[in-house]
Amino acid sequence: MTPLDCGNIIKTELRRCAKICHEHFSWASIKLDIRYDLRGTAAGSAHKDRRVRFNLLLLMEQTIHDVQQVAAHEFAHIVVYRRWHESHTPRTIEQPVYDEAAFVAAADDIPSPHGQEWRRTMHLFGFYPQRCHKFDITKHRRR
């Protein structure tokens, strides 16, 4: 597939997952910062500042299903971060849903990257929660 095709599959999949989150968690929207600048052997990465990065050169060689799975995989990390944050932070009107300072302060309590919460989210997205597949050596802050 072309880089454009690949980017479109990723975007469509992320939109599908966001819709599922809307239905299940009543989330209005999740603003992701999508980038295609990842290089090397990792297919994707998710960051707590809502950045998701994809390795287009690597992904355009994969099947559509694999590309979708990588997109859902990274989105699931964002979901876990956000749900953890919501359950650990008393919300006020003024407070942003996603508070970087709170994350840094309580970083040690963040659920493990491919733990129960993440696996449940992958099921919700309709994927088998495979932690790593053949080309996904996703980089995470913690393992």
Largest CA distance in the chain: 46
Per rule CB under 5 A, count of chain residues that contact Zn ion: 1
Q: Least distance (Å) from Zn ion to the CB of residue 87?
A: 21
Q: Does 62 interact with Zn ion (rule: CB under 5 A)? A: no
Q: Least distance (Å) from Zn ion to the CB of residue 73?
A: 5
Do 21 and 39 meet the contact criterion of CB atoms below 8 Å apart?
no
Picking from 87, 67, 89, 91, the residue whose alpha carbon sits closest to that of residue 79 is 87
The length of the chain, given as a count of residues: 143
Q: Least distance (Å) from Zn ion to the CB of residue 26?
A: 25
Footprint of Zn ion on 99-138 (CB under 5 A): 138
Instruction: Please report, as ranges, the residues that interact with Zn ion according to CB under 5 A.
Output: 138
